[in-house]
Structure 1
Amino acid sequence: MRGRQGGLRFQLLGPVVARADDVPINVGSPQQHAVLAMLSLREGRAVSMAELVDGLWGEEPPRTGHRTVLTYISRLRTVLEPGRCAGEGGDVLPSVPGGYALRAGDIEVDSVLFEREAADRSGGVRVVHDRLSGALARWRGGALAGVPGPWARRERDRLEEMRTTVREALLGYALDLGRHAQSVPELRAMVAEFPLRERLSELLMLALYRCGRQADALAVHRAARHALRTELGVEPSAALAELQRRILAADPGLLVSTVDIQSAVGAGTPPPVPPVRPLLQQLPADIADFTGRATTVEEIRAVLAGEGAGHGHAVTVCTVSGSAGVGKTTVAIHVAHLLGEAFPDGRLHVDLRTGSTPAEPAGVLADLLTALGTPSDRLPLGLAGRAALYRSLLADRRVLLVLDNARDAEQIRPLLPGTAGCAVLVTSRARDLALPGARCFDLGLPPESEALELLAAIVGAERVDAEPAAARSLVAACGRLPLAVRIAASRLVGRPGRSIASLDQRLRDEHARLDELRVGDLAVASAFRLAYEALTPETARAFRLLALSDAPDVTLPVAAALLDTDERAAEVLAETLVDAAMLESHAPGRYRFHDLLRLYARHRAEQAESPAEREAAVVRVAEMLIATVLRAARTVVPGESPRAWLRPVRHAGVAFAGTAEVRAWFGAEHALLTATMEQLLPSGPRALRTAVELLGVVGVSGHFMGLTHYLEISRIAGAAAERARALRDPEYRARALHIRAWLAFLAARHDLAEADLRLALACADEADDTLRRHMAGNLLALVLWATDRPEEAERAMRKAARFAGDEGNPDSPAAAARYVARLYTALSSREPDVTIMTPVMRAADATGANLTTVDGLQRLGRLLRSPGPDRARC
C-alpha cells in the first residue's frame, strides 16, 4: 500500500491531533506538530523552507535549521504515507516549486472549518446561532496547545481572538432568540475576562435588564465605565451610553427580541407587547471548576424537578445542611443552574446572611415582591400581608427559590411559596430546620477522591499525577474541606515551579505550632494562615479591613472607604485577594468573603488594628454612604441641600445620572445601608452620631423606605434612640426619635408618631437643638391635623415657627424642613413625574403656602393622608 486510504483530519483547536480513517497518527515531536500545522493551514499551497525555519525558530535559527526541517518533513511523510518506499517523493506531502505542500485529495482541518463557519452569517437568526455554536464546539482547548515557535504563538493569538469574537457574536444571537437568562453566566465570565470589550458589557446589561435586574444591569455599566477610564483614560462608547440611557428610562423596546420583531414584520403585525412580568433570573454564576458531589447533585435535582414521587399540592422543599466551608452554597447554585427548563418563570436567589446581621423576612419579602413587579408604594406594611401577597403572585408560576445561609425555620417560613408549581432549596448550617415535608441532605466532607479531583481541576491533572502521594497528603492536611483545598491549590497555581510536597510539609509544620484561631478543623486555619502570610503587607491589610463591614458584600466604593484609598487602588488590592482565593468576585465591582475567611480576617484585624482604627474604617463607609444619599437627593430635587441638615463629610459619594439610577442604587444597596447603621450603633459616640445621620438621610428617602422597609428602619431608629439615651446624647436621641416618628406618620400610625415626637421635642429642648425643635414641631402639627385636632395643630405649628429662622436663608431650619418634605414627596409620589416637584407640591407652592405656615402644613397634611386619586385632584 503506497499511501493511506480515505481522508486525513488535522485538529489544531487544542492539542494537535492527526487522524487517518479516524485512526490517530503519531506525528512525533512538538516541532513536527508545528511543521504539520503550518502546512495544513495553507490548504494545499506551498510553504517555503525559509517560512518553516522562521516559524520554528524566528530570528535566531540553529545552524542546522534547514537540515532539521528536512528531517521533520521526511518523518511526516513516513507517518502520513506508511506505504511509501524510502527515497521516493511523497504524494501527500510532496516537494513543490517554492517548498512543500499537503496535497491529499481529502484533508479536513478543524481550524479552517471553524473560520469558514464563523464568517458565514447567511440565513436567519436561529440558523446563524446554530452554525456559530457548532463552530465553537470544534474547540478542545487552547489552539495549537504545546506547539513551540513564533509562528505558533502568532497563530494561537489570531485564532483565540477569533474565538472570542465568535463567542461574543453567538451571545448576541442568543439574546435575539430570547435566551437572555441562559446567557447571563457566560456573559459575566466573559466580561470579567475581557473588561474592555464594550460589546460584551452591552450584551450583559441587556440580558440582565430582560431578566428584570435593572440595578445589576446599571452596575455593569458603572464597572465598564470605571475600567475604561482607569485603563485607557476614555469614556464609554456612544452605544454603551445609549443603552444605559434606555435602561434608566425603562425602555420597553429593550424587552423585545429580534426574532419577535422579524416574526411580527413577516406577519404584517406590530411587534409584540413586552411581557408584563419579566423572567426572573437572580442566580449567582455557577462555579467553573465544580467537581464531585455527583450523586447528591442528581438527587437534589430530581427532587426539585418533581421526578419520582410527588407531594400533591405542597411546595417542594430541599434543605442542604453542613458545616462551614463544606460547599453547601456551591452545590445549591450548581443544582439551580441545572434546573432552568424545570422552572421557566425564573430562579430567585436570596442570601439570608447568617451572622451578625441576618436578613429579616419582611425586608426579604419586600425585595421579592418588588422583583415580582409590585410597586414599592403598594406593598403591605406587615409581614403577614406581604407573605400573603407573595404567595398569591407565585400561585400560577413555576419558580425556584434558593434561600442561602438560612439561620432557622422562623426566618424561612414566611418566604415559602404556597403552591406545588414552585420549589425551594435552602442551605443552612443548622441541621434541625424542622420544615414540614422537606427533603433533607446533610453535606459532609467529600471523599479523598473528590478532594483530589478538585485539586487537579485547579492546579492541573499533570501536577497531581506527578506527585500522587503528596497530593493525597495535602488534601488530608486540609481536612478534605473544599474551601481549604481551594486556598492551598491557589498557592500552587501562582507558583508553577513549586512542588505539592513542599506545600504539604509547610501545612504540617503549621499544625505543630498553630495556637491561634480554630475554625472547625484545625487544618482550615493552617491553610488560611499560610495563604495570609504569603500576602504583601498592603494586601494583608486589605484582607483585614475589607472583612470589617457587616454588609453581605463589598462594592468598590465601600472597599475604597474601608481602605481609605481611591477605587482604582482598592480594586487592584481586591483582585489580588481574588487571585489568592481569599476573596470572591461574584459580580462586576462586587466582592464577598466566605464566612470562615471573614472570621479569620477579623481575627487578624483584632491583632493588627486597634479598636479605634477598626471603628474608623466602618465610619468612613457610613460617611461615604451619607454623601451618596445626599447626591441622590440632589439628583431628584436639584439644588444644594441645606448645610444645617448634616455635618460635613469628606467623601464625594457615588454619582447618579438620573432618578431611575437613584432608585436602582437604593434597591441594590439597602442591605449595605442597614448593615452599616446597625454595625455602628454599639460603638462610641462618634460612630453613633454617624449612624443616626445616615439613618436620617435614608429615612427621608421615600423611594428607599416608603413602606417597603418600614419595620426594619423603624427598629434601627428605636435602637439608635436607646443607644443615644445610654450615651447621654439628647440631640441625637431626638434625631432618632424624629426619624421613627416620620416613618410612623407615613404608615398612618399616628399614636406612635405623636409619642415619639413629644419625647423628641423634650430631648431637643434639653440639647437646645433649634433644627429639631422646628422640624419635629412641624411634623407634630401634621400628626395633630391628621387626627382631627386642628386647634392643637395650629398651636404646635406656631410654636415650631418660632425656631424657623430666616426663611430666606438656605441654611435655616425652615429651608431644611422644606427640603426634606419636597424630597420625600418627589421620591414617594405615585404621580408619573418624579424627577422634579410633583403636581401636589407645585400646587401648594402656587398658593404661597410654604411649609413654615399653618396653611401650608394643613394643605400638606390633607394631601399626605388622602388616597392617590384625591391627591391628583388637589
Structure 2
Amino acid sequence: MSDTSGEGAADHLVFRILGPLQLIGRGGMIRIPPGRQEVILAALLLEANRVVSTDYLVDLIWNDDPPDTARTQVQICVSRLRKIFAGAGIDAAITTRPPGYVLKADGETVDAAVFARQLAEARLLGKQGRAAEAADLLKAAGRLWLGDCLSGISSDTLRSKARQLDEERLTAVETRLQFELDLGRHHELVGEIQRLVHDNPLRERLRGLLMLALYRSGRQAEALETYRVGRELLIDELGLDPGEELRQLEASILSADPALHTAAPSRQHSPAPAAPDPAPAPADAPPPPSYRDEIPRQLPADTADFVEDEEQIASIERALTGDGTRRAVGLAVIVGKPGTGKSTLATHIGHRLSENGFPDGQLYCDLRGTGTPATSAEVLGRFLRALGIPGPVIPEALDERAEMYRTLLASRRTLVVLDDAASESQVLPLLPGSSACAVLVTSRVRLTALPGSYRVELDVLDTERALALLERVVGTGRVMREPAAAEALIRTVGGLPLALRIVAARLAARPHWTLASMVQRLANERNRLDELTHGEMTMRASLSLTHDGLAAGDRKLLRLLSMAQGTTLPGWLAGALLDDDRPFPSDLLEPLVDVQMLDVVGVEATGGFRYRFHEIIRVFAREQLAAHDDSAVRGAALERMMGGWLSLAEQAHRRIYGGDFTVLHGSAPRWELPESCVDELLVDPMEWLDGEQANLCQAVEHAARERMDELSWDLATTLVTLFEVRGYLDQWEQTHQQALVAVKAAGNKRGTAALLSSLGSLYLSRSQHDESRTSLGAALDLFSELDDAHGLALCRRDLALLERMHGNDELALALYAEALRDFDRAGDVVGRAIVLTQRAHIWMRQGLDDTAQSQLDEALDIYRSVGYSGGLARTLRRVGQVLLQRGEHGQAVSTLTEVLELCRESGDVIGEGHLLRDLGQALSIMGRDEQAKRFYDSSLTVREQIMDQGGAAMVRLDLARLLERTGERSRSREMLETAARAFRDRKMSRELREAERLLGVAPDAGAVFRTEPAG
C-alpha cells in the first residue's frame, strides 16, 4: 500500500501543479521565469509522459497570431527548461518526439500523478469495504493541494484544463466525506461540510452530505433548512428544482427513515472470497506483448519562411495522392541545380500531406547523392528499424530487405521522402509496392528511368516569389521603402533561394543597413570573382560576403567544422575543433546559425541542438580551410574531433557495463569534454550511442581514411556495445572492415587482432561458424604473440561458445577455464561473469544443477556490484531455467517474469519474445495449459510482428505439442505444418526433423518439447 501520510508522498515531489506551478530541485524551490517557459512547463506537466505537439504550444503562447520564429522560440524555451533541470539536479527529461515534446518523469515526482494514483487506490479500497483506509488515503491526496490548480498561469486554455483537476479535487473530497460519514464521524464533519457548501452552494452532492451529517447529529431542523435554502438558490440561479437524490433525502429525513443512520447499501461490501491456491501473477494475467506498430515521423522541420508556388505544389500532391483509381505507387521527382530549394520543397509538401494524405507516417533519408551515396541496403535497414523490426531480424540480402519493406508497407498509407538521390538504381529498391503509399525524390540528376514518375524541375525564384521571401525575412516595410534595390538584390544573387535567405538574414540582423548598401556590397564581391552568371558562382559570391563579415574566430570554426562528415552535427564538436572546454560549446555555433551558414535541424533529448551544413556551404568552407589553415592546424583539430567521439563512446560503454569490461582499448589520444557536458549527453548512454550511430560509424571510416589506425580500431570495437544490443550487424561488419584495412596497412598487430576477434563474435551472431572459427583463430595467434591477456580471454570465450553450440562440451569447458584465467589476469570481472553464465548451461545440460547455480550466483553478484543490467537479465533467465529443471516451478515463473520486465524496460523486443516463450514452457510443465497458451500466443504475436519467422516457428512447435495434449488436434496440425515450412525455408534441420516426427507420429505428441535456450 502507498504511503498515506501525505508528508511521505510530498517528500518525493519535484513538480507541483496542484496550486501554483512549482519546481523543486535538490537545493529547494527553483524559479521558473514567468511567461513562455512557465506556460510550456505547465502544458507538459498536465500531459506528463505524453506527447504535446509543438503547434499546441505555439497556440498556447501566441493564440492565433504566432510570429514566423514561433517554433524556434518554443525550442529555445524547452532548451532553457532542460538546462534548469540539469542545473537543479532534477531527474527528469524533456525529450523531442514528433510532433512535439514529452516530459518524462517518475509518477511519484508529479503531484497530479500522485493524486490520481491515490484517488484510484482509495476507490478500490472503498469497493473492498475498507472505508477507513480509503478515507485516510483521500486525506493524504487532499494535502497535496496548495490552492487552485496552476493558479497564476495566464493561459485560458491551460486554466480550462486546470479546472478539470479542480473538479476532481472536489469530487475526491466528497468521496472522502461519504466514507467518513459511513464510519460514523458525522459530528466532526459538520463544520467542514458547511464551509464547503458555502464555497460551492450549487453543488448538490455536498449539500446532501451536509443534510445527512446534520440529521445524524440530531439536528433534523437544520438539515431540512439546508435543503430549503439550496432549493431556493437553485430556482433563483438556474431556474431548476433540486435533483431526485436530494429530494429523496429530504423525504427520508421528514419520515425519519431508519436507513439514514447506516451506510448506504451500495457502500456495504462483504470481504472478497479467498482464491484457492493463488497462481503467480504472470500466470494469472499474462502481460500482453509490448511491441506496437511503429509510426515513423522522420521528416526534418518545415521552413517558416517558405514561399509557396501553389500550382506547383498542387501538381506534386496530385501525383503523390492520386484520384483514388491509381494502381501503382505515387512517385514524384524534384530535380534542379544546387540552391534551388529541392529539399525545402519536398519537406514542406511532406508536412502538408502528413496527416490527411499519409496518416501512417513518413520515412525520410538523405541518400547523400553529392557525397558517398548511401546504399539501398543501408537505407532499407534504417527504414525497417524505423518500422519496428529489430536489427537481428533484418535479413542481409538486399532483395530480402526490399521484400520485408514492401510487406510492412502493404497495409499502410506512408510517404517516403528520398532526399538527394544519386541514381535510379539507388531509388528502385526503396519503392513500396502498395498504391496507398507514395515516394517523393529529390536529386541533382533527372532520374528519367524511374517508371511512372512525375518530374518537376526547379529553377531560380521569379521576382514575385523572391520579393515575398525577402519580405518574410526582413519585413515588408523595408522592402516597400526600397523596391528598386530589392529587385536589384534579387538579380544580384541570381534568384537562388538559399543565397537570398543568407543575404536576407544578414539584413535582418542589421536593421540600420539599407537594401541598397547590400546591393553595393554584393556588387563589390562580384568584381572579385571570375564567373558571375553561373549559379554556383552567384552562390559563392553571397557565401563569401557572409563569410568575410564573420569574426575571425567564427570564420575559423566554420572552416574546421567542414571536416565533420555527418549529415547532422552535435554542438560539442565546436569545442573540440577549437580546443575550447566551455560547458555549453554549442554557444560557439550561434554566430554561424545567425547568418544561416549553419542550420539548426532539431533538438536532442538532452536539450542540445543539432546542426547541418547545406552541402554547397560545406564545399565553400572546405575551400576556405584549404586556403587558410595549414596541415598542422587541420591535423590537430581533426585529432581532437575524433578523440572526442572516442572519448564519449568509451564513457558510454563504461556507464553501461560499469567499467572498461569486455572491450579492448588502444593508445589513441582522447579529447575530454567538460564533465557537465558528458553527464548531459550520456544521461542514457545506449540512447546516445543509438542516436549518434551514423556519426560514429562515419568517424570510424574517416579515421581509417586519414590513416588514424589506432583510433579507428578502438572506436570500431567500442561501438560493438551498440551494435550487439540493437542488432546493427551490417554496421558492425562495415566499420570493422574499414578499420581492418587501416590497421593492416600500418602493421598494427594489436588492432588487427582486436578487429578479427570482434568479427569472430559477429559471425557467431550470424551463425557463420566457419568464418567465426577462422577469424577467432587468427586473432588468437596474434594475441598469443603479443601475450595480451584481455584479447586472449575474449577469443577463448567465443571459441568456447562455438564448441558448445556444436555439442563439444569438454573442449568448451577447457576453453572456458582458460578464458577465466585470462579475464582474471586482465582484471575484467564482467568478462568473468559472462563466462560463468555461459558455462553454467553446460552443467545444466549434464544435470549438474547445483554446480550451474553456484556459477550463476557468482555472476549475479558481479553484475549487481558493477550495475550491468544487461548481464543481470541474461543470467537471471538462466537461473529461471535451472529452477524449472529442478522442479521449482513457481519460483522459476517468478524469476522469468522479472527478466521479462527487464527486457521490456530496455526495449528488447527479441528478449521479450524469448521470455514469453520461456513462461509458456514453464506453465505447460506445471499443467496450467490455458495460461501457457496465452503466453505462447503473446510470444507468437511478438515474433510475427517483428517478422522473425524462425522464432515464430519455434513457438508454434511448442504450442502444437500443448494443443495436441489438450485435444485441439486440428489446430495443432496446422501449427506444425506452418512451422515445418519455416524450418525448411531456413534450413533449420534439427527443428524440421522434430516437426516432421510430430506430424507423422501423433502418439508422442504429448511430450514437453525442450529446446536449448539462446545464449
Structure 2 length as normaliser, TM-score? 0.56
Q: Secondary structure at the match of 2:586?
A: helix
2:624 to 585, 604, 610: 604
> Which residue pairs with 1:419 in the alignment?
434
Q: 1:689 maps to which residue?
A: 710
Q: Structure 2 CA distance, aligned partners of 1:415 and 1:226?
A: 40
The number of aligned residues is: 648
- Asked if residue 331 in structure 1 is aligned to residue 351 in structure 2, the reply is no
Deviations 1:17-70 (A, max 9, x none): xxxxxxxxxxxxxxxxxxxxxxxxxxxxxxxxxxxxxxxxxxxxxxxxxxxxxx
Are the counterparts in 2 of residues 517 and 603 from structure 1 also a CA contact under 8 Å?
no
Shift of 1:289: 0.9
Listed as ranges, the gaps of 5+ residues in structure 1 are 1-159, 202-219, 267-271, 849-862
Distance 1:465 1:162, change over 3 A: same
Question: 1:692: how far off?
Answer: 1.1
Q: Distance in 1 between matches of 2:790 and 2:879?
A: 22
Alignment match, 1:407: 422
Q: Deviations over 1:467-505 (max 9, x none)?
A: 222222222221211111111112211222222222222
Distance in 2, matches of 1:777 and 1:177, equals 47
Name the CA distance, whole Å, in 2 between partners of 1:871 and 1:248: 41
Partner of 2:827: 810
Structure 1's 567 and 326: CA in aligned 2 closer, same or farther, altered over 3 A?
farther
Alpha-carbon distance change, 356 to 616 in structure 1, aligned in 2, over 3 angstroms: farther
Give the 3 Å change call, closer, same or farther, for CA 493–402 of structure 1 in structure 2.
same
Question: CA RMSD, aligned part only?
Answer: 4.8
Do the aligned partners of residues 655 and 318 (structure 1) sit closer, same or farther apart at CA in structure 2, a change above 3 Å counting? same
The verdict on how the C-alpha distance between 1:595 and 1:247 changes in structure 2, with shifts beyond 3 A counting, is farther
Deviation at 1:411, TM superposition (A): 2.5
Distance verdict in 2 for CA 1:172–1:240, change over 3 Å:
closer
Match of 1:837, SS? Answer: helix
For residues 746-781 of structure 1, give each alpha carbon's deviation from its aligned partner in whole angstroms, at most 9, with x where no partner exists: 111112222222333344456554433442343234
Change (3 A) 1:408 1:466: same
Cα separation, partners in 2 of 1:391 and 1:549, compared to 1, 3 Å: same
Q: Which residue of 1 aligns with 2:147?
A: none
Q: Counterpart of 1:56?
A: none
| Distance change (3 Å), C-alpha of 1:660 and 1:410 | farther
Q: Distance in 2 between matches of 1:414 and 1:244?
A: 38
Gaps of 5+ in 2: 1-32, 61-67, 96-101, 115-157, 172-287, 604-608, 840-858, 883-909, 919-1010
Q: Judging changes above 3 Å, is the alpha-carbon distance between structure 1 residues 704 and 618 closer, same or farther for their aligned structure 2 residues?
A: farther
Match of 1:447 in 2: 462
Query: CA–CA distance in 2 between the matches of 1:666 and 1:391?
Result: 29
- Cα 1:566–1:293 change in 2 (3 A) is farther
String of CA shifts for 1:101-132, please: whole Å, max 9, x gaps: xxxxxxxxxxxxxxxxxxxxxxxxxxxxxxxx
Q: TM-score, normalised by structure 1?
A: 0.64
CA contact (8 A) 2:783 2:792 kept: yes
**Higher mean Cα deviation, 641-650 or 167-176?**
167-176
In the other structure, the counterpart of 2:571 is 556
- 8 Å contact kept, 1:507–1:527: yes
Q: Which amino acid aligns with 1:244?
A: K
Alignment deviations for residues 115-157 of structure 1 (CA, whole Å, 9 cap, x no partner): xxxxxxxxxxxxxxxxxxxxxxxxxxxxxxxxxxxxxxxxxxx
Residue 632 (structure 1) aligns with: 652
- Alpha carbons of 1:177 and 1:734: their partners in 2 closer, same or farther (altered >3 Å)? closer
User: Does the 8 Å CA contact 2:335/2:445 hold for their aligned counterparts?
Assistant: yes
Cα contact 2:574–2:588 (8 A) shared by 1: no
1:195–1:224 CA contact under 8 A, matched in 2: no
Matched, 1:294 2:310: yes
Q: Which residue of 2 aligns with 1:578?
A: 593
Structure-1 separation of matches of 2:837 and 2:445: 45
- The one of 685, 688, 691 aligned to 1:662: 685
- Is the CA contact (8 Å cut-off) linking 1:174 and 1:180 kept in structure 2? no
**CA distance change for structure 1 residues 752 and 163 in 2, over 3 Å: closer, same or farther?**
closer
Alpha carbons 1:351, 1:404 under 8 Å: kept: yes
Aligned positions of 1:696-711 closer than 5 A: 696-703=717-724, 705-706=726-727, 709-711=728-730
1:841 and 1:170 map into 2 onto residues whose CA distance is 42
Q: Which one-letter code corresponds to 1:668 in the other structure?
A: G
1:839–1:598 CA distance, 2 compared to 1 (3 A): closer
Does the 8 Å contact 1:407/1:428 carry over to 2? yes
Amino acid at match of 2:872: T
Matches of 2:440 and 2:59, distance apart in 1: 23
Residue 735 of structure 2 corresponds to 716
1:676 aligned to 2:693?
A: no
State the 1:625 CA deviation. 2.9
Equivalence for 2:192: none
Alpha-carbon spacing, 1:568–1:615, altered in 2? closer, same or farther (3 Å): same
**Mapped partners of 2:385, 2:704: distance in 1:** 29
Q: Does 1:540 align with 2:572?
A: no
Corresponding position: 1:193 with 2:73 = yes
Letter in 1 for 2:296: L
Deviation string 1:259-307 (CA, Å, 9 cap, x unpaired) is 9xx9xx99xxxxx999943543222221111114332212112222224
Tell me, yes or no, if structure 1 residue 735 matches structure 2 residue 729. Answer: no
Match of 1:779 among 767, 790, 798: 798
Q: Tell me the distance in 1 between the aligned counterparts of 2:495 and 2:796.
A: 63
| SS of corresponding position for 2:719 | helix
Match of 2:104 among 244, 261, 270: 244
C-alpha distance in 2 between matches for 1:440 and 1:238: 47
For residue 451 of structure 2, what is the amino acid of its counterpart?
P
Query: Is 1:321 equivalent to 2:331 in the alignment?
Result: no
SS of equivalent residue, structure 1 residue 424: strand
Could you tell which deviates more after superposition, 760-769 or 396-405? 760-769
Displacement after TM superposition at 1:361 (Å): 3.1
Native 8 Å contact 2:713 2:754 kept in 1: yes
Contact 2:598 2:611 in 1 (8 A): yes
Task: List aligned pairs for 1:470-549, cutoff 5 A.
Answer: 470-514=485-529, 520-549=535-564
- Whether the 8 Å CA contact 2:43–2:57 is kept in 1: the answer is no
- Asked if structure 2 preserves the Cα contact closer than 8 Å seen for 1:304 and 1:316, the reply is yes
Match among 370, 392, 413 for residue 398 of structure 1? 413
Q: Which moved more, 1:348-357 or 1:186-195?
A: 186-195
Change over 3 Å in CA distance of 1:358–1:719 after alignment to 2: same
1:758 paired residue number = 777
Aligned mates of 1:670, 1:796 — CA distance in 2? 34
Counterpart of 2:871?
Answer: 837
Whether the 8 Å contact between 1:225 and 1:235 is mirrored in structure 2 is: no
Q: Identify if the C-alpha distance between structure 1 residues 424 and 603 changes in structure 2 by more than 3 Å, giving closer, same or farther.
A: same
SS at match of 2:417: strand
From 286, 290, 293, give the equivalent of 1:277: 293
Counterparts of 2:108 and 2:718 in 1: how far apart (Å)? 23
**Which of 449, 453, 461 does residue 434 from structure 1 map onto?**
449
Per the alignment, in what secondary structure is the counterpart of residue 824 of structure 2?
coil
For residues 684-710 of structure 1, what are the alpha-carbon distances to aligned partners after superposition, in whole Å with 9 as ceiling and x for unaligned? Answer: 3xx22112111001124355552xx31
State the distance in 2 between where 1:184 and 1:503 align: 37
C-alpha separation in 1, matches of 2:1014 and 2:364: 42
The 10-residue stretch of structure 1 (710-719 or 420-429) with the greater mean CA deviation from structure 2: 710-719
1:734–1:764: 8 Å Cα contact kept in structure 2?
yes
Distance (Å, rounded) in 2 between the aligned partners of 1:820 and 1:683 = 41
Aligned to 2:765: 746
> Could you say which residue in structure 2 is the equivalent of 1:67?
none
Q: Which secondary structure does the structure 2 equivalent of 1:243 belong to? A: strand
Compared CA separation, residues 171 and 746, structure 1 to 2 (3 A): closer
Over 3 Å counting, the alpha-carbon distance change for 1:788 and 1:161 in structure 2 is closer
Q: Which residue of 2 aligns with 1:857?
A: none
Q: CA deviation at 1:713?
A: 2.5
SS of the aligned residue for 1:681 comes to helix
Deviation at 1:656? Answer: 6.7
Query: Cα offset for 1:170?
Result: 8.7
Distance in 1 between residues matched to 2:629 and 2:296, nearest whole Å: 43
Partner amino acid, structure 1, of 2:722:
S
Cα deviation, residue 408, structure 1 = 2.0
Within 2, Cα distance between the matches of 1:302 and 1:174?
A: 37
Question: Is contact 2:763–2:771 with CA below 8 Å preserved after alignment?
Answer: yes
